[in-house]
Chain A
Amino acid sequence: MSSIDRRDFLKLGLAATATAAVGIGMSRIPLPMTATSAEPEPDTIIPADEPAVIARGDHDQPSPHHWVMVIDQSKCVGCDLCLAACHAYNDTPPNISWSRVEEVEPTAEGRRVFRPTPCMHCEDAPCVEICPVGATYHRYDGLVMMDYERCIGCRYCQLSCPYGVRHFNWEAFTGPNPDVPAAGHPEVPRRPRGVVEKCSFCVQRIDRGLAIGLTPGFDPDATPACVVACTYGARLFGDLNDPDSPVSIALRQRPDAYRLKEELGTGPRVYYLPAEPALEESAS
């Protein structure tokens, strides 16, 4: 487990006492976290019974990747295949869905429109900023991670998330998972009762893929389960730093892509392609 060493403690202590109440809350200095190895462990098999130790981020280093998900609302039919895959691969309890698929306003011609909402892995994530114990944090590549060993279950992050994608484990998940094996096999251990969980962009798949030389977004084995499961190709994933990745191409082609509640300044990593392209707007 990574932990803050004694000197960091002292430094933090001094910083904390020297800053006024509101000042602390409003400041935005990145929190120094000890960087364990920035590279993921080369490990092809993901043990489902061991808690995944994920490297905490080192924000001084620019990340080599900029993971992004693009969701094409013109293709999504609201079939929930992505949710079934997520339930299976991330072994979530039946009453918790890391993504939700909601029906939103229909198009002008009356075609139904759906909007899948996973965790946005915000660049300036409110949940990361306010978690009192740092149990939710930015990984080296900017993905927002949960440390289930550290979370105290205060549920403050649930209040802070503008997208409502955080779920509390009100009870322990003990029974069989109804989506296994039909939709896939668990790749991560179950979370204990009393902690908050949320979509992880399937980091276990990304890390495993990178370790064996696959490219997330192209190779199904290195791509989030929901993206792979979508038979309609409504979900795309990839590295925005790579101009040839599916997400870069999609966002280049569709300048009308939008993000949810951009005005809040959270910097979501999930882009949506509207069901009806706003041609006039993109032309101007």
Chain B
Amino acid sequence: MTLIRRAATLIRHNALPALRQPIYRWMLFLMCLMAVGVGAALVVFIKGLGVTNLTDLVPWGLWISVDLSAIALAAGAFSISAIAYLLRRKELQPVARTAVYVGFVGYSIAMMMLLLDIGRPDRFWHGFVFWNIHSPLWEVTMCVGLYFSVLMLEVMPILGHWQPVEHRFPRLSHRLGSLHKLTPYLAFVGLCLSTLHQSSLGLTYGKLVARPIWYRPWPMAISFYLSAIVGGMALVTFISLVSARLTPRARVNKVTLDKLAYTVGWAVLFLLVLRWWDLMSMPVDYEPAKSEALYILTRGRLAFNFWGLEIVLGMVLPAVLLLVGHFRRIERVRILALALVAVGVVAYRWDTNLVGQLVVFGQVPGSDVPLFTNYTPSLIEILTATGVIAYGLLAVTFGVRYLNVIDHGEVVEAPAKASVPAAVVPSSYR
């Protein structure tokens, strides 16, 4: 009884007033989405993948696209770290810290989605024990696993500076903080592992002779790799700028971010050329399944995604907005452009994943018509994916608010006390 009463008082005095602040409402909203997602995930684990709309003809759907997008957008971690530590651009080191945290969140999203997606989640470890070195997917499994460990090591110092850890376990905090020394080496390892698996993800599709639209090993590997770098850098810059507008706890260096945004502008232009070349280099004469898939992509069901989201909104527009100084200097425009780049990369992943599955190869040479298939994610798929994405947003919010992951003012050694004004520390810690 007393427990309930105490909880009630706690809610009345602390939780309810807190909910008047938009930030807590936002976090509560995300937690609700997560709770629904957890429920949906339980349904998946208990009932099996029959609750999805996936079929033998379209076995990879929404979840894989979320995976691919999360991994792609997490690529800012390795690319910005590499620029900051290997190319020794010191001014980017604090941005790399943000990027590493965002990357960590991205990879954890991907892991959760994958765990749901495989038919035997209890055997998730098989990839590490039973090796088939010819499989790009095996390589992805290994590299993602290893790179996730690297990210964990990189995130440790950030967690070490979390106020409760620093207060209650000063020695642990110090230990974790000292891992920071490893960062340059981790940046190198991360660069290698990421290069391997980001391109292998493209190769995962590009290696399949059965799906002619995908069967372009090199172009697929290269465009997956480069688009991941561009999308990842754009996302980190976007998150930093948006947070800086929303909360004083995010402190950014506008000059550095402006430079980054400008770089993203050029990179996205390059990506546009690459994507164009990649598509245009396909033979124009009829090839079963490939021609139909191209049709679906450019004029059929995926046409809006392709022309609208990928090309116009995802590449052309942001390139213009980021490269013309007049537009870029308007902060809202810059933020919008960066968000669009990320959207474009997500659309690219979704289109790529689906385009090879929406049309299935004719079976007899020259006689059968290719078979058109269908896929719309089921409610359960959408709810679980939303839950996992909500987790990602919550983790980023938490990081910005309590872990000071966006603190680009200068390289701060012991930021916690100085940078969190006492007035905004939640009352429970006071």
Contacts and interface: CB of A to CB of B under 8 A. Distances in A.
Chain A complexes with chain B:
yes
Interface stretch (A26-34, A57-65, A81-89, A222-230): A26-34
A129 B135 contact: yes
A196 B118 CA distance: 11
Contacts of B130: 3-4, 133-135, 150
B200 interface: yes
Contacts, number: 178
B207 to A, nearest CB: 6
A99 B217 CA distance: 30
A195 interface: yes
B211 interface: yes
B133 A15 contact: yes
A36 B120 CA distance: 26
Interface in B98-153: 117-120, 123-124, 126-127, 130-142
> Dominant SS at the A interface?
loop
A31 B134 contact: yes
Interface in A143-175: 150-156, 158-164, 166-172
B53 to A, nearest CB: 11
A105 B365 CA distance: 12
A170 B138 CA distance: 23
B137 to A, nearest CB: 4
A16 B127 CA distance: 14
Interface stretch (B268-276, B296-304, B354-362): B354-362
Given A160-B210, A164-B56, A166-B56, A154 B137 contact: yes
A117 B134 CA distance: 27
B144 to A, nearest CB: 11
Contacts of A155: 54, 59-60, 119
Contacts of A4: 130-131
A25 B136 contact: yes
Contact of B59 (A105, A131, A158): A158
A167 B55 CA distance: 9
B195 interface: yes
A213 interface: no
B199 A22 contact: yes
B204 A24 contact: no
A96 to B, nearest CB: 9
Contacts of A276: none
Contacts of A78: none
Interface string B152-191: 0000000000000000000000000000000000000000
Contact of A102 (B50, B56, B124, B363): B363
Interface string B337-372: 000000000000000000011001101110110000
B196 interface: yes
Given A12-B133, A21-B199, A133-B126, A104 B209 contact: no
Contacts of B208: 126, 130, 159-160
A135 to B, nearest CB: 7
Interface stretch (A41-49, A178-186, A257-265): A257-265
Given A152-B119, A153-B118, A168-B56, A260 B207 contact: no
A260 B218 CA distance: 27
B207 A153 contact: no
Given A104-B368, A152-B126, A162-B210, A134 B132 contact: yes
A21 B133 contact: no
A170 B200 contact: no
Give the residue among B47, B134, B137 with the most A Cβ atoms within 10 A: B134
Contact of B50 (A31, A105, A153, A170): A170
B203 A22 contact: yes
B49 interface: yes
Contact of B203 (A21, A28, A195): A21
A132 B127 contact: yes
A26 B217 contact: yes
Contact of B120 (A27, A29, A194): A194
B249 interface: no
Contact of B118 (A130, A154, A161, A261): A154
B133 A16 contact: yes
Given A104-B364, A195-B119, A132 B132 contact: yes
Contacts of A151: 119-120, 123
A194 B136 contact: no
Contacts of B200: 21-22, 24-25
Contacts of B211: 159
Nearest to B141: A132
B221 interface: yes
Contact of B56 (A20, A153, A158): A158
Contacts of B123: 150-153
21 contacts: A15-B133, A25-B200, A25-B217, A27-B134, A104-B364, A104-B367, A115-B363, A129-B134, A131-B135, A133-B130, A134-B132, A135-B130, A151-B120, A151-B123, A152-B120, A153-B119, A167-B56, A170-B50, A193-B48, A193-B119, A264-B209
In order of increasing CB-CB distance, the 6 nearest A-B pairs are A153-B119, A194-B119, A155-B59, A132-B138, A162-B210, A132-B137
Given A15-B133, A135-B130, A164-B360, 15 more contacts: A16-B139, A21-B203, A25-B139, A25-B217, A134-B130, A134-B131, A150-B123, A151-B123, A152-B118, A163-B363, A166-B56, A168-B56, A171-B48, A263-B365, A264-B210
Interface of A: 3-4, 9, 12, 15-16, 19-22, 24-29, 31, 102, 104-105, 115, 117, 126, 129-135, 150-156, 158-164, 166-172, 192-196, 260-266
Interface of B: 47-50, 54, 56-57, 59-60, 117-120, 123-124, 126-127, 130-142, 195-197, 199-200, 203-204, 207-211, 217-218, 221, 356-357, 360-361, 363-365, 367-368
